[in-house]
Amino acid sequence: DTAVSQTPKYLVTQMGNDKSIKCEQNLGHDTMYWYKQDSKKFLKIMFSYNNKELIINETVPNRFSPKSPDKAHLNLHINSLELGDSAVYFCASSPRGTGDYGYTFGSGTRLTVV
Amino acid sequence: GDSVTQMEGPVTLSEEAFLTINCTYTATGYPSLFWYVQYPGEGLQLLLKATKADDKGSNKGFEATYRKETTSFHLEKGSVQVSDSAVYFCALTDTGGFKTIFGAGTRLFVKA
């Protein structure tokens, strides 16, 4: 039973399309995150939700919109996809607001925009 | 702002060699420090952590000590194996606890 699961694992789409990535955790954690990893493996936080409330919203184009219907789910919707959006997107969770326990990561969604 | 700096890779070692990957940080307050490992095609996995000065985190033969005086958290392993080949990330969580900042990652290759 996967702790943090993301779907889809791979996503290939054309420029201008709209796509969503879903994330679910069954750990009972309060806080969930989206990170973007570029081709050089650099990780950048995008968003964080704590108990469905948005607490971190980094400098991310407003084409990216997160949604958390409940504390076990955090989805990422991307409008008008651009070539530069190609990356691996990781969902993660932690037990509570603090990250002192460390994160549990999903296995990633590799997005390729052509 | 807070930041994490890791030694650039790749690091290439022979099996059973000693490993050190340097990590230094800049932070206000009292961050928690972490090492994560990413195997090819997978997400990051928490390897070890330390939440206050002089704490030593350890797991699977890896160790790191939180050194406040040198703002460092270097990762060490006495004898690496081929299966340790991966990308290693140093990270800190700020005092407020909601944001974790990652270093750029260090790729390790271990040859048989």
Does A27 reach chain B within 8 Å, measured CB to CB? no
* Nearest CA-CA distance, residue A15 and chain B, Å: 25
pLDDT at B99: 81
Q: Could you tell me how many CB contacts below 8 A there are between chain A and chain B?
A: 65
Mean pLDDT to the nearest integer, B46-58: 95
Does A106 reach chain B within 8 Å, measured CB to CB? yes
Asked whether residue A86 carries a pLDDT value surpassing 70, the answer given is yes
Interface touch B43/A43, C-beta < 8 Å? no
pLDDT at A98: 59
- Which range has the worst mean pLDDT, A11-20, A85-94, A98-107, B100-109? A98-107
Interface touch A103/B100, C-beta < 8 Å? yes
Pick from B93, B81, B90: nearest CA to B18: B81
Dmax (CA) for chain B in angstroms is 43
Asked whether residue B38 carries a pLDDT value surpassing 90, the answer given is yes
Asked whether residue A108 carries a pLDDT value surpassing 90, the answer given is yes
Helix (H, G, I), strand (E, B) or coil at A99: coil
If you write DSSP's letter for every residue of chain B in order, what string do you get? --EEEE--S-EEEETT--EEE-EEEE-SS--EEEEEEE-TTS-EEEEEEE-STT-EEEETTEEEE-BTTTTB--EEESS--GGG-EEEEEEEE-TTSS-EEE---EEEEEE-
**Chain A residues in contact with B105 (beta carbon < 8 A):** 41-43
**Chain B residues in contact with A89 (beta carbon < 8 A):** none
Interface touch A104/B32, C-beta < 8 Å? no
**Mean pLDDT rounded to a whole number for chain B:** 94
Asked whether residue A62 carries a pLDDT value surpassing 80, the answer given is yes
Asked whether residue B42 carries a pLDDT value surpassing 70, the answer given is yes
pLDDT single digits (tens) B12-26: 999 999 999 999 999
Mean pLDDT to the nearest integer, A88-106: 85
Mean pLDDT to the nearest integer, A44-50: 91
**Chain A residues in contact with B86 (beta carbon < 8 A):** none
Give, in degrees to the nearest 5, the angle at Cα B80 between B78 and B84.
Answer: 135
pLDDT band at A4; cut points 50, 70, 90: very high
Interface touch B43/A90, C-beta < 8 Å? yes
Q: DSSP letter for A83, please.
A: G
Interface touch A43/B102, C-beta < 8 Å? yes
Does B40 reach chain A within 8 Å, measured CB to CB? no
pLDDT band at A99; cut points 50, 70, 90: low
Mean pLDDT to the nearest integer, B82-95: 93
Q: Could you give the CA distance from residue B94 to residue B3 in angstroms, rounded to a whole number?
A: 10
Mean pLDDT to the nearest integer, A78-89: 97
pLDDT band at A47; cut points 50, 70, 90: very high
Interface touch B32/A106, C-beta < 8 Å? no
pLDDT at A97: 60
